[in-house]
Chains A and B, each alone.
Chain A
Amino acid sequence: MIAAADSPSSASSSPWHFFGYFMDHRSEDLGWLWTHAWLSVVPVIVGLLIALPLGWLSRRYGWLYPPMMSITGLLYTIPSIALFVLVPPLLGLSSLDPLQVPIALTVYSVALLVRVVADGLASVPDEVNQAATAIGYTRARRLFTVELPVAVPVIAAGLRVATVSNVSMVAIAGTIGLSNLGQLFQIGKDLSTPTAYYPPIVLGIVLCVLLALVLDSVILLLTRLATPWRRAVAAR
């Protein structure tokens, strides 16, 4: 923090100086980038693990679908910053507990992905299911080896939305004092009181966008690897 406070006098305040700022505070920035990446990814994975059974249930038992969608829609409606501060009292945690942000982000991911899983399973053509049943697949085997793989593209679209918006929401958590790339915006704001000091702000935006793009590309790549038949069909 002392190094950060010193830098305006020593370094340029031009927005393009963000790389120099990064080199000067490398270890701190990389630590934040690492935390930011974890906070963006882990809630989506946990969220998917929770959403898969819930989405399957609301597809399997049709009467569950409307109430499930109303509840998840309501949760998704609550702004992230409000959910961050509401999670601790509702779960009996202390305010500013390290788990508050991951829990809140997991809630969002579940809210988004339950619908995506249910709609993904619904997108599997009936003939495909009937064919699987006809050649003797049990219900469970059909789910794991036919329905879920066919639903991958729809589920992946939801995962991309959840991950990319998580990157932005984690930065918001930075404004209420959590250590991640959002801290760069806090620092930039604090250093800008007499005149604008851009480097940390621009660096924060650049790193957030890069992180979002990298995570998005990883999901696209995994989707491609998980659905080889789509390429086979396209090539024919």
Chain B
Amino acid sequence: MAKGGGGAMIGQVFSWLTDPAHWRDTALDTGITTQLLAHVRFSLIALGIASAIALPLGLFIGHTRRGTFLVAGANALRALPSVGLLVLLTVMIAPHFHGRTDIGYVIPTEIVLVLLAIPPILSNTYAGVDTVDPAVTDAARGMGMRGRQVLFDVELPCSLPLILSGLRSATLQVIATATIASFVPLGGLGRFIYDGLQQQDYPQMIGGGVLVAALAVTADLLLALLQRVTVSRGISGRFATKGDAPAGPIEGAITRVEVEAG
């Protein structure tokens, strides 16, 4: 494809995406529907495990102010190149599994995805609880609330905007890295990017890129909606005076550095 062929390429990508044959599985090829579901499944599993670890841990550290070194340690993971980690773990683990299953590739991928999803959730949960106005928690204690009640009825709802922006940040990271899992090689939407590249089938490669981008944007919109529904209006109202967009993935990324530096 020569320079200036952008317009023609967009047309070819469009016809690749809208061809119903590409969405169905055939004897030779896995269709878009199946790969999309696989991608979503890998991502949800990783986010579930990471939240189960990082949320309680972040709440505990923020509430008790003990173990803050764990937050800094988790943030150091950010410097690790995700592809490198993925290849390393795959090479380590995959040869131990034989046969027709792809479990040997699923396990290393899930480990990497969980490792990537933990830091944003952990540090945002910690930062959220840590930055709750001390006057508010004092008032809660003064009203006779116990530690557990303060945590779940006051600190948790107050820190929800930051916690959810951490979750959004983690979700994007996971969806992006699950794409690279196709490099090791595993199913998912990244399949189309790497297969398209190898076969020099650029409409397929770019179509894969469009699908991944669409999935990431959709997931982020759903989480933004969740944020709007769950965050108390008293809290989001206070946030709205500063600038009106709710805390999103960019804040999720930046909070991590502030936590690290502070």
Contacts and interface: CB of A to CB of B under 8 A. Distances in A.
Interface of A: 65-66, 69-70, 72-74, 76-86, 88-95, 111-112, 115-116, 118-119, 122, 157-158, 160-161, 164-165, 167-168, 171-172, 174-177, 181-182, 184-185, 188-189, 192, 195-198, 201-202, 204-205, 208-209, 212-213, 216
Nearest to A162: B253
B6 A205 contact: no
Interface residues of B, number: 59
Contact of A82 (B2, B80, B88, B179): B179
Contacts of A209: 79-81
Contact of B206 (A86, A167, A171, A197): A86
A174 B209 CA distance: 16
A176 B180 CA distance: 10
B78 A165 contact: yes
6 contacts: A65-B243, A66-B244, A78-B217, A79-B212, A188-B88, A188-B91
A88 B80 CA distance: 28
A157 B260 CA distance: 10
A188 to B, nearest CB: 6
A205 B80 CA distance: 7
Interface in B203-262: 205-206, 208-210, 212-213, 216-217, 220, 242-245, 248-250, 253-254, 256-258, 261
Given A92-B4, A160-B257, A196-B91, 7 more contacts: A76-B250, A81-B176, A112-B254, A189-B87, A204-B81, A205-B81, A208-B81
Given A76-B250, A93-B3, A201 B179 contact: no
B87 A157 contact: no
B81 A158 contact: no
B212 A81 contact: yes
A77 B217 contact: yes
B210 to A, nearest CB: 7
Nearest to A205: B84
A81 B250 contact: no
Given A81-B176, A175-B183, A161 B257 contact: yes
Interface in B179-197: 179-180, 183-184, 190, 193-194, 197
A85 B205 CA distance: 7
Contacts of B249: 73, 76-77
Interface stretch (B7-15, B49-57, B58-66, B149-157): B7-15
A201 B7 contact: no
Nearest to B7: A92
Contacts of B17: none
A116 B254 contact: yes
A192 B93 CA distance: 12
Nearest to B202: A95
A193 to B, nearest CB: 9
